[in-house]
């Protein structure tokens, strides 16, 4: 019988055990619903007595995700996972899943109250799921939307400086200084001084 990477064994019975990724196809891109993870989440919320959430919770791999590792939708109970996670490690998939599940649990327990997404209620849910030290943001090597700024530009006259992600291809001058003297036409006197940011 055909055996896809997603059907491979996940042993979540022992929360502390990290699963080696050696028996996984590294280039396999996950997509669609995940029965194994959905089942695991249902079991976890049932153990916490959230019978109604148990009926709704479902896990899906979303190939449109980029910088986010996972996302939780409440009240639908849907959790989206970034397929890139399967190329990082099994323990990261698991950690992300618990992080998102904690969001669902926090909202489910406080349906009529506006709670902070990573506030006390979420932290309590993390504790209940065995990840008491979980943080709001991940440090995974996923593509980020906000790119790191690598270049600094400074006007030699007025000293105005700013940072950019991409390097300017041609010479650029301070617009404000040029505006004052030439009416906005490029003047090399005000050419911005470029320096790399470390």
Residues of the shown chain interacting with Zn ion in the complex, contacts defined by CB under 5 A:
155, 157-158, 160, 174, 177
Query: How far, CA to CA in Å, does 193 sit from each of 72, 168, 173, 174, 196?
Result: 45, 11, 9, 10, 10
Q: Which is nearer to Zn ion, 6 or 81 (CB)?
A: 81
What is the C-alpha separation between 54 and 157, in angstroms, rounded?
Answer: 65
Q: Which is nearer to Zn ion, 120 or 158 (CB)?
A: 158
Q: How far is the CB of 155 from Zn ion (least distance, A)?
A: 3
Q: Which is nearer to Zn ion, 24 or 160 (CB)?
A: 160
Q: How far is the CB of 145 from Zn ion (least distance, A)?
A: 16
Residue burial 149-188, b: 16+ Cβ < 10 Å; e: rest: eebebebebeeeeeeeeeeeeeeebbeebbeeeeeeeeee
Q: How far is the CB of 186 from Zn ion (least distance, A)?
A: 13
Reduced DSSP (H G I as helix, E B as strand, rest coil) percent helix, strand, coil of the chain, to 5: 35, 15, 50
Q: Which is nearer to Zn ion, 58 or 131 (CB)?
A: 131
Q: Which is nearer to Zn ion, 33 or 181 (CB)?
A: 181
For residue 127, give every residue at least 6 positions away whose Cβ sits within 8 Å of its Cβ, in sequence order, or none.
none
Q: Which is nearer to Zn ion, 24 or 157 (CB)?
A: 157
Q: How far is the CB of 126 from Zn ion (least distance, A)?
A: 10
Give, as one character, the DSSP assignment of residue 6. Answer: G
Q: How far is the CB of 79 from Zn ion (least distance, A)?
A: 11
SS3 60: strand
Cβ count within 10 A of residue 18: 12
Q: How far is the CB of 159 from Zn ion (least distance, A)?
A: 7
Enumerate the H helices of 34-113 as residue ranges: 35-47, 51-56, 90-109
């Amino acid at each position: 019988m055909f055996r896809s990477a997603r059907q491979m064994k996940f042993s979540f019975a022992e929360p502390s055990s990290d699963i080696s990724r050696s028996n996984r196809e590294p280039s396999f891109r996950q997509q669609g619903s995940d029965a194994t993870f959905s089942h695991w989440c249902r079991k976890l919320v049932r153990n916490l007595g959230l019978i109604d959430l148990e009926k709704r919770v479902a896990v899906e791999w979303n190939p449109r995700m980029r910088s986010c590792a996972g996302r939780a939708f409440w009240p639908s109970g849907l959790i989206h996972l970034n397929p890139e996670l399967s190329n990082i490690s099994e323990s990261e998939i698991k950690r992300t899943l618990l992080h998102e599940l904690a969001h669902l649990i926090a909202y489910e327990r406080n349906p009529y109250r506006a709670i902070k997404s990573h506030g006390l209620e979420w932290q309590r849910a993390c504790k209940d799921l065995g990840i008491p030290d979980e943080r709001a943001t991940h440090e995974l090597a996923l593509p980020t939307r906000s790119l790191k700024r690598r270049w600094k530009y400074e006007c030699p006259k007025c000293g105005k400086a700013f940072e950019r992600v991409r390097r300017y291809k041609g010479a650029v001058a301070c617009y404000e200084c040029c505006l004052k003297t030439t009416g906005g036409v490029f003047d090399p006197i005000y050419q911005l001084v470029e320096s790399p940011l470390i």
